[in-house]
Every structure is written in C-alpha cells, then in structure tokens.
Structure 1
Amino acid sequence: MKKNLLTFLSILFLVTILAACSSSSANSSDKLTMVWYPNESGNDLKAARDEIGKVIEDVTGKKVEHKLTTDYAIAIETIANGNAQLAFMGAQGYIEAKNKNNKIEPLIVPSGKSGTIDDAVYYSWLAVKKADAEKYKVNGDFAIDNIIDSQFSFVSSSSTSGFKVPSSDIVSYFSKEDKWKDLKPEDLMEGGKFFKEVLYGDSHQGSAVNLLSGRAEVAAFCDTCVGNYIEIAQGEPNKKGSIYKVKADAAEPFNTVPGEEFVLINVTPVLNAPFAANMDSLSAEDFKKIQEILVSDEVSKNEKIFVPDGSDTPGLFKKTADEKFVVVEDSWFDPIRKLSK
C-alpha cells in the first residue's frame, strides 16, 4: 500500500514539475519580440510601432522589442519558429506561418468603418502610370486585357494583396480564353510565359516605386500601405479609373518620385491583416492580456494608433468612423486559403 502511494505521489510530483516547465517555457522572460513586415518597418512608422509596443508593455510588464525586416519570408519564419512572439502580417503570411507551426493564432484584426469584421477589408490595386493609362482601356473602360507581355511588379510571393489576390484575379480573368486556359499563379511569378518581366518590390511601397520610377509598366500594391505617401487627384478612393498623386513631401522611398501620378485599372477587396501570436512562445495569460487591451476603447481612441482622418501624422491605422481592433477566429481567413486550392 505504501509502495503504491509512493508511486502515485512520485507521478503527481513529476506531472506538476512538467506542467510548470511547460508553462514557464511559453516566454517566461521579461521580453517580447514583435516582428514587422517591410511595409511597416520604415522610419516614418516608428512612432506608431512604438505606441503599440508601449500598450503591450504596460499590460504585460514585459519589454517589447521590435524586429524590423526587409523580406516577407524572414518575418514569416521569425514568428513561425518562435524567435518572435507577435507579428503584424497579411492574411497569406499568417496562413503560411500557421502551416509551418499550428501554434500560430490570430490575436486581432483592425475592423472596418462599422467597428465590426463585416467590412474589415482593404484593397488590392493594379496600377499603371497616368501617362500610359489609355493603353489599358477596352471599349472605353479600364481593364486588364493589355497587361500581357508587360513588365510587371508584385510585392512578394507571400503577400496577400501584393501577389495572392492579384494573381488569382489575373488567372480567373484570362483562363476563360483558350490560350490561357491552363494558366496558374506560378506562371506569373517570373517573366517568359505571361509577363515579359516580373519584378518584386519586397514591400508595397517598393512595388509602387517600381511602377512610378519606370522599372515596371504595371504594379500590384495595396491602398493602406501606400496611403501615407499619396493623395487622390481625381475620382473616388478605391475605384477603377481613379488617379492618385505622390505627395510633394512624401517620405522614403517615395521621396524619389514626388508628384508622380498613377491610375487604378483593377481594385479588389481583401481581408484585413491580423496581428498574430506564437502560442509556443507566448503564454496564454499574456495572449489574453494583450488581446483584451487591444480591443479596448482605450486603444481605439488612441490617436497614435488610430490616426484621425485628415491628420498628417503617419500611422498604421486610420480613424474615419468606428474603427477598432476586433477578435477573429482562424476560420475567418479561409477565403484566402481557398485561393491556393
């Protein structure tokens, strides 16, 4: 009897120790690392990054270190392998990270104007220089028929709105023709089959500058990532045919193309980008604390995080109505997953 009791107590002790070790392994240090895509790694967004970091520091008591990147793949691998606990990334990057490590979970996404996920979208653009715009009209309307054999710029093969969505649009549009009935997104990744030449900007800003500097004839990039550097010159936001102009005082890399204008020839809504967490390296307790503070009214009213509409202050998120951070489940990203099937 004593032997059985001793064995039971030994097992109970071992289980307790293992549980404690497991709990402490989920980032027991006093530091959290947040990795950022190239789009959000510029000096002009330092204050916005720092403010989000400060909010997380205040609620967790841990120092937030920001890991800036120049490559999507590096950011995705950093969160997937646990060298960062947190990341701000596109839906496609989140999916790729989760495919590498199932412990990657969405923390929050920015809502739409309604303050809900019902309109939580931004926009993927295909754009051409204003001087070339007439070449991309069919029967008087802008269309993508004439992008074949062009010099084309994507953002990154891991970009949602800078590759996954526009490549899906292009394949869907052209595969109705016999000549292109077997066209696949992979055929668009390099020149020689559909495009004459394919460039990658490594960021949405970089892809836009590829266009405006003349290195590309057509470029894919999104509205939110270039919003701090441009202004609408004619038409309505996110509408085909609308003309945008680079601000005279635009920060890098747009400081090399001030005043340049471009026209939208294709516009597609895209699910908003999530903040994601690696639950192997972030404790459930910290996850809950961070999630609760980010969805709070305190943060939605923080003008350093949600910059008031019309403000000249560079920011990551705009406050035009009831925008805030909201919680989503992994299944919310299934429409993007389906683009790869």
Structure 2
Amino acid sequence: MKKIMGFMLLVVVALVLSACNSGNAQESGGDDVIDMVWYPNESGNDLKGAREAIGSMVAEATGKEVEHHLTTDYAIAIETIVNNNAELAFMGAQGYIEAKNGNDAIEPIAVPTGPSGTLDDAMYHSWLAVPVDQQDNFKVDGEFSLDTLEGVKFSFVSNSSTSGFVVPSSTIIGHFADKELTEEDLMEGGPLFSQVLFGGSHQGSAVNLLNGSADVAAFCDTCVNNYVEVAEGEENTAGTVYRVKDDAAEPFNTVTGKEFMLMSVTPVLNAPFVANTEVLSEEDLNKIKETFVSDEVANNEGIFVPEDSEEGGLFSKSADERFAEVEDAWFDPIRELSN
C-alpha cells in the first residue's frame, strides 16, 4: 500500500509540474522580465547607453524589467530568440528571415526610417572596402572592378549578416555568373578567393582589413560610423576615404589613424527589432509597438542621437528619423537574394 501511495504521489507531482510548465510556455512574460538579445555589432561597451535607452523604453511601456543578452556570434543571437529564450531582438534582415524560418512566431516590430521619416528611404549601406595604398590593385582602366577580387584574401562578417554577407555575396555571384558560384563557394578559399575570413561582427571585419589580415572586406556604414570619419570624398560613395578616429573604442583602438577606401556601396533594407510572440504576450507586443513608433521615442536623444552630437548611438537624427512598423513581406527583397 505504501508503494502504491508513493507512486500516486509521484504521478500527482509530475502532473502539477507539467501543468505549471505548460502554463509558463503559453503565458509569456510571467516572470515580469523581458529578455532582449543583441548581435555582436551592438554588444560592445561603447553602445551600452544605447542599449539601455532602448531597454528603458520597453520597460516603461510594459512595466517589466528588461534584461540584455549580449553575444559574440550571430548564430547564438538568432538561436536565442528562435528557441524561446528571448522575447525581443535587434537583428539584420537576413537574421530575421533565418529566425522566422526557424520559428514562425518571430515577427518584426519596427525598423528605423530614413531622414524622410518613412520607409521610402529606410536603408543603410553595404560596403566593400580596400586599403587606400592598395586601391590601384582593384581598378581596371582607373575604375574599381569586381574582376580584381579573384585570388584575394576576403573578409565577411557572418554568413547570417545581411550587409556583411548576403548582399555582397549576391553581387559577387552575379558578377562572376560564368563561374556558377554559390554562397557556399564564397565561404571558403579556392573557387574565387585565396582565403576567406569572418570578422564575427562588422567591426571585426573592418579590423581584418585594417590590420592587414584581409585585402578586401565587407561591412556596413552604420556599424562603424562611431569609429571612423570621412577623410576625403562624400559619405557612402565609391572612392571615398575613411579614417579611424584617434579615440576610437575597441576593437578599433588597435588601428587608430588607419585609412580605407570604399570600392563598392550598395543600399540595404534597415534592420528590424523583432519579437517572439510565443513568449511575449499580445498585450505587451501591442504596448511595445505603440511606444516604438511614438513621437516621444522619435525625439529621445538617447535613441536617435543628434547628428552633431559627440555621443555615439545606434541611430542618428539628421531630419525626421523615427521608428515605423513593418510587415514580414517588406523583407522579401532580401529573401530573394538567397533564392
């Protein structure tokens, strides 16, 4: 009889625990904490203030504590939200698409607009950059040419990076159509490049170029703007020279004063903030969306840093920049690059 009673007690406990776990899975935000995961690009100490400004906005909207999860790898950030270990994330378009493929509950919340305050110019730029003193090695008849990429040491960001891999890869594959290259071919030395490096972040890819590890590197403007300045030419224009600031934070503190030149510039859809609706309640999601697109946030200088400010941030304010809601279909142009 004691054995039977003991067995029944174990069954009851198991059922109770199962019910609790099931309730927690369905009842998102039950612990009054919202977890937010960040890519390596935005995980540096120099962007702590920017992360906290976003976190404070979410906390005020929901009345919940926000915990920031910093990463050193794109895949870790993506898997964290796919596996229901975070409610929110800031990621590139390609990362969002991969996350959506892994968990259909992932939805975009908003993206930063362009200066117009609309989605019409909600874009940043993918760069291919080369050392200034080697620029002639990448020109044909005085003009930059992708033909010169054969046999070079090339640095990407991550194969989950939109502007640091998907966009430049699509451009390169299209240019060398006769070689019938694939994305996989560009991830390793041999088919086109002599060696392929991955910086792990846009900052890391840029440093690969500046310290001589790579001959050409792919990275984006927005992720390095806090560390570099135009030395010659116009922003986001092929042929423009950028110089690393003397007081640049890590990892650029090892290459201060170094210069690079833009070989190629390609517009890219802005990166979204996304939510996992499996672990974030509809009520909290609606509150967060409403707050993101509010005038209060658009005028928050901790989030949209004035263009002439000496403070670094995630987003700059030159005119009417703000956040705008987007639907999944807005990212279809990026999906098509990988098809």
Note whether the superposition's TM-score is higher than 0.5.
yes
1:303 paired with 2:305, answer: no
What are the within-5 Å matches in structure 2 for residues 177-192 of structure 1? Answer: 178=178, 180=179, 182-192=180-190
Name the SS for the 1:286 alignment partner.
helix
2:290 corresponds to? 292
Which string of whole-angstrom CA distances, capped at 9 and with x for unpartnered residues, describes residues 260-287 of structure 1? Answer: 0000111100000000000000001000
| Aligned-pair CA distance for 1:143 | 2.0
What are the within-5 Å matches in structure 2 for residues 37-48 of structure 1? Answer: 37-48=39-50
Distance between the aligned counterparts of 2:199 and 2:271, measured in 1? 19
1:34 corresponds to? 36
Distance between the aligned counterparts of 1:265 and 1:59, measured in 2? 43
| Aligned-pair CA distance for 1:37 | 0.1
Check the 8 A contact 1:152/1:198 in 2, yes or no: yes
| Aligned-pair CA distance for 1:22 | 8.2
1:80 and 1:23, CA in 2 relative to 1: closer, same or farther beyond 3 A?
A: closer
Distance between the aligned counterparts of 1:80 and 1:40, measured in 2? 19
Aligned partner (choices 257, 260, 268) of residue 259 of structure 1: 257
Name the SS for the 2:313 alignment partner.
coil
Aligned partner (choices 330, 333, 341) of residue 331 of structure 2: 333
Check the 8 A contact 2:229/2:242 in 1, yes or no: yes
Name the SS for the 2:120 alignment partner.
coil
Check the 8 A contact 1:57/1:63 in 2, yes or no: yes
1:145 corresponds to? 147
1:158 paired with 2:166, answer: no
Name the SS for the 1:118 alignment partner.
helix
Distance between the aligned counterparts of 1:152 and 1:22, measured in 2? 46
1:323 paired with 2:325, answer: no
1:242 corresponds to? 240
1:13 corresponds to? none
Distance between the aligned counterparts of 2:136 and 2:298, measured in 1? 42
Amino acid at match of 1:276: V
Name the SS for the 2:209 alignment partner.
helix
1:9 corresponds to? none
| Aligned-pair CA distance for 1:26 | 2.1
| Aligned-pair CA distance for 1:111 | 0.4
Amino acid at match of 1:38: P
Structure 1 stretches of 4+ with a deviation exceeding 6 A read none
Which string of whole-angstrom CA distances, capped at 9 and with x for unpartnered residues, describes residues 211-265 of structure 1? Answer: 0000000000000000000000111111111110000000000000001000011
Aligned partner (choices 106, 109, 112) of residue 107 of structure 1: 109
Distance between the aligned counterparts of 1:138 and 1:240, measured in 2? 14
Aligned partner (choices 42, 66, 71) of residue 69 of structure 1: 71
2:9 corresponds to? none
Distance between the aligned counterparts of 2:312 and 2:234, measured in 1? 21
1:280 corresponds to? 278
Which string of whole-angstrom CA distances, capped at 9 and with x for unpartnered residues, describes residues 128-181 of structure 1? Answer: 010101111112112221111100000000000000000000001111xx4x1x
| Aligned-pair CA distance for 1:184 | 1.4
Check the 8 A contact 1:23/1:283 in 2, yes or no: no
Distance between the aligned counterparts of 2:319 and 2:225, measured in 1? 17
Distance between the aligned counterparts of 1:259 and 1:134, measured in 2? 21
Distance between the aligned counterparts of 1:329 and 1:59, measured in 2? 21
Check the 8 A contact 1:125/1:223 in 2, yes or no: yes
Check the 8 A contact 2:26/2:279 in 1, yes or no: no
What are the within-5 Å matches in structure 2 for residues 95-244 of structure 1? Answer: 95-175=97-177, 178=178, 180=179, 182-244=180-242
Name the SS for the 2:230 alignment partner.
strand
1:91 paired with 2:89, answer: no
Distance between the aligned counterparts of 1:22 and 1:82, measured in 2? 12
1:60 corresponds to? 62
Amino acid at match of 1:241: G
Identity %: 63
| Aligned-pair CA distance for 1:23 | 9.1
Name the SS for the 2:205 alignment partner.
helix
Distance between the aligned counterparts of 1:288 and 1:222, measured in 2? 31
Distance between the aligned counterparts of 1:208 and 1:167, measured in 2? 17
2:52 corresponds to? 50
| Aligned-pair CA distance for 1:28 | 1.8
2:5 corresponds to? none
Amino acid at match of 1:101: N
Check the 8 A contact 2:25/2:279 in 1, yes or no: no
Amino acid at match of 2:232: Q
Distance between the aligned counterparts of 1:85 and 1:159, measured in 2? 21
| Aligned-pair CA distance for 1:65 | 0.2
Check the 8 A contact 1:300/1:325 in 2, yes or no: yes
